[in-house]
Amino acid sequence: MPVERRAVGKMRWMLKHFAFCLLEYIGMRDRLRCPYCKKVGTWKPHSPPRRWLCKWCGLYEDIDRIGQARPCKRKKVWMLKPLSRGKTPAEMVRSIDPWRG
């Protein structure tokens, strides 16, 4: 699922990321919707480095690639290539959906 970005796309992506990072100061950062699973409040911009991560389905996006992150049981963080693969919240809770929009 890796996707490469062009130079113009990288600049536009950086400007969009910067604008969304400013939303943290007015309290709107927790209302962003993941473009893949459509859950409200799970899509978070992180800096530095500039990256996005959905805490529900694991969609990971940075300036160079898009991938699927997984929780690592050993390190207790989300990783693209975890040492010990854990389940995402979407896999653990299939019937109950607390972030349904």
Convert the pLDDT of each residue in 19-76 to its tens digit: 877 777 777 766 778 888 888 877 777 766 778 888 888 999 888 888 999 999 999 8
Q: How confident is the model at residue 72, as a pLDDT?
A: 92
Q: Is residue 98, in this structure, part of any structural domain at all?
A: no
DSSP state of 47: T
Please give the tally of structural domains in the chain: 1
The pTM of the full predicted model, rounded to 2 decimals, is 0.67
Per-residue pLDDT at 97? 62
Identify whether 25 is part of a domain.
yes
Domain that holds residue 58: 7-92
Q: Decide if pLDDT at 10 tops 50.
A: yes
In a domain, 16, yes or no: yes
Sign of the CA dihedral running 22, 20, 45, 65:
negative
In a domain, 101, yes or no: no
> In whole angstroms, what is the distance from residue 65 CA to residue 21 CA?
19
Residues near 79 by beta carbon (within 8 Å), at least 6 away in sequence: 69, 70, 71, 72
> Distance (Å, rounded) from C-alpha 98 to C-alpha 31?
14
